[in-house]
């Protein structure tokens, strides 16, 4: 930016500061000359006003008032040409300039005002040219970021290019991505207020005491896909608005991709997640290729978090997967969703809170009974471990419940405890397991349903889809096999922990 300090440093102009040194950092965008006493009425701010003072009154108070009115409209500096009406800058004007913090400099007689004007305009043109060159370099970087890293990477590149904080909101005004830092809550609420006033508007600007907020709609035709908010100490200039427009175009293209393309990408990501899970189950690690693709789902630190949903059967899980894919696309999330029998596994960003997973569960549970579990935050290459934890948490959840074993510090999240429970499971429940294996019964599932229902016959029977008397008969057989009394709460708790721990 061109400042008054820069102008004063141009030695060939031989300018001499006579007051207002505190305002040397003021930015200027043009230079004009005027002998009007009321020149401030024709200015909009940011100008260097050049005058000889020939029409100024002899009254010192009126001369002070002249500078005050110029300062009120935002004039950046005043250049006072000597050798015509005045041999030097009047002392009362220098004092007033110091009081206002309005730079007042003396222009010697041999220096034409046009030389100052040309110097300022040339500098502004050079800076604008440099900004345009910088923008032409930033646009390809933004395009590559969008292609390789999606919306979050594009937001980071835009924030770097404009030097302001940027936030991407979905249609529900939830935060999808921010850069380079989290937007302050007050500014985020102001952005949301601007959107809610007119969601279909292409953009809006709001100036607060500390920042200028710019909001732009992302959409195609009559459809809105989200909004971009930019928060900075100053308003966006022409070049920055151009970069913002480029980002909006890229985001709109990404979100308006043909449905078949979105489905194909989701299917590829499904296969990648399945391969990563198989590798982890076999004791292997995620290879570089899979790791690179999984990185699309990661937060800026390369971390992910798995969430598991358990449906009643495979058909319900298939429908649930479709709804989950649509919902994640709607939330501007890279879609990594895999159905495994009656379970559906999805990958969220590592910085996503449990609230997001709970919201997805609520959405799915509105049409089919489903329970959920969420794993711990891991690096993308360790997604298999997070999936394992999510599935264990899911088995511990009731219908409509989202369980976070690590967040709740559950014993089941501790490996030594889980190994001990697994050993106890093999010993204590062997008669039931052998009976199921030999005769094709489902006593283990009936026992688990009974224990998860905390001994409630009606709830357990409904979960198994059998009559209460049938379930009661099965539980009595189990009691005989294991030589236990399942009316005892402590016994039920021990067996439930064994069953949950063994299924990890």
Give me the tens of pLDDT residue by residue for the chain, a chain 504 residues long. 789 999 999 999 999 999 999 999 999 989 999 999 999 899 989 999 999 999 999 999 999 999 999 999 999 999 999 988 899 999 999 999 999 999 999 999 999 999 999 999 999 888 888 878 888 888 999 999 888 878 888 999 999 999 999 999 988 888 888 999 888 889 999 999 999 888 878 788 888 878 899 999 998 777 888 999 999 988 888 888 899 999 999 988 877 766 677 788 888 999 989 998 888 777 767 778 888 888 888 888 889 999 999 999 999 999 999 999 988 888 888 899 999 999 999 999 888 888 889 889 999 998 889 999 898 888 988 888 889 889 888 877 778 888 887 665 444 444 554 555 566 666 777 888 888 888 888 888 888 888 877 788 888 888 788 888 888 888 888 888 888 888 877 777 777 777 766 654
In 3D space, the residue among 182, 185, 179 whose CA is nearest the CA of residue 159 turns out to be: 179
Q: Exposed, middle or buried, 194 (CB in 10 Å: 0-12/13-18/19+)?
A: buried
Q: How far apart are CA 175 and CA 197, in angstroms?
A: 18
| Confidence (pLDDT) at 15 | 95
Tokens at residue 412, please?
């089941």
Residue tagged 């913002």 (tokens) = 244
Task: Please report, to the nearest 10 degrees, the dihedral formed by the alpha carbons of residues 410, 415, 421, 427 taken in order.
Answer: 170
| Confidence (pLDDT) at 407 | 63
Sign, CA torsion 287/292/294/295: positive
Residue tagged 């009643």 (tokens) = 312
What are the phi and psi torsion angles at 340 (to 5°)? Answer: -130, 95
| Confidence (pLDDT) at 96 | 96
3-state secondary structure of 146: helix
**Do 381 and 291 form a contact (C-beta atoms < 8 A)?**
yes
């Amino acid at each position: 930016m061109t400042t008054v300090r820069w102008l004063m440093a141009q030695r060939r102009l031989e300018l001499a500061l006579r007051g207002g040194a505190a305002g040397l950092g003021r930015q200027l965008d043009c230079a004009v000359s005027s002998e009007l006493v009321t020149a401030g009425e024709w200015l909009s701010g940011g100008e260097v006003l050049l005058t000889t003072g020939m029409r100024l009154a002899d009254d010192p108070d009126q001369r002070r008032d002249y500078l005050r009115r110029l300062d009120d409209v935002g004039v950046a500096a005043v250049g006072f040409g000597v050798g015509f009406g005045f041999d030097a800058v009047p002392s009362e004007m220098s004092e007033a300039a110091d009081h206002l913090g309005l730079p007042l400099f003396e222009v010697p007689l041999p220096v034409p005002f046009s030389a100052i004007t040309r110097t300022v305009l040339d500098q502004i043109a050079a800076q604008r040219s440099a900004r345009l060159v910088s923008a032409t370099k930033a646009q390809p970087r933004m395009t590559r970021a969008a292609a390789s890293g999606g919306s979050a990477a594009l937001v980071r590149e835009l924030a770097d290019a404009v030097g302001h904080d940027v936030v991407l909101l979905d249609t529900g005004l939830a935060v999808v991505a921010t850069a380079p830092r989290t937007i302050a809550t007050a500014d985020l609420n102001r952005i949301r207020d601007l959107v809610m006033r007119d969601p279909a508007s292409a953009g809006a600007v709001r100036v607060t005491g500390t920042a200028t907020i710019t909001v732009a709609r992302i959409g195609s035709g009559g459809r809105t896909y989200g909004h971009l908010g930019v928060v900075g100490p100053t308003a966006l200039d022409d070049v920055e608005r151009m970069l913002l427009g480029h980002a909006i175009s890229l985001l709109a293209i990404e979100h308006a991709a043909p449905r078949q393309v979105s489905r194909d990408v989701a299917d590829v990501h499904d296969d990648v997640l399945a391969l990563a899970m198989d590798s982890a189950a076999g004791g292997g690690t995620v290879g570089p290729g899979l790791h690179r693709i999984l990185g699309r789902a990661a937060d800026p630190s390369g971390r992910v978090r798995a969430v598991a949903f358990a449906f009643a059967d495979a058909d319900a899980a298939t429908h649930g997967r479709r709804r989950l894919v649509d919902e994640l696309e709607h939330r501007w999330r890279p879609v990594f969703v895999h159905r495994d029998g009656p379970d559906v596994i999805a990958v969220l960003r590592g910085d996503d809170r449990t609230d997001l997973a709970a919201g997805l569960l609520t959405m799915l549970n509105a049409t089919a009974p489903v329970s959920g579990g969420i794993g711990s935050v891991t690096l993308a290459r360790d997604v298999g471990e997070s999936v394992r934890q999510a599935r264990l948490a899911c088995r511990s959840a009731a219908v409509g419940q989202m369980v976070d074993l690590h967040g709740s510090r559950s014993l089941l999240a501790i490996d030594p405890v889980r190994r001990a429970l697994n050993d106890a499971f093999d010993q204590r429940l062997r008669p039931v397991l052998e009976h199921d294996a030999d005769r094709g019964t489902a006593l283990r599932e009936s026992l688990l349903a009974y224990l998860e229902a905390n001994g409630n016959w009606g709830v357990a029977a409904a979960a198994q889809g059998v009559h209460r008397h049938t379930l009661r008969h099965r539980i009595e057989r189990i009691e005989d096999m294991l030589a236990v009394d399942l009316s005892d709460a402590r016994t039920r708790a021990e067996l439930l922990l064994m069953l949950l721990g063994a299924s990890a």
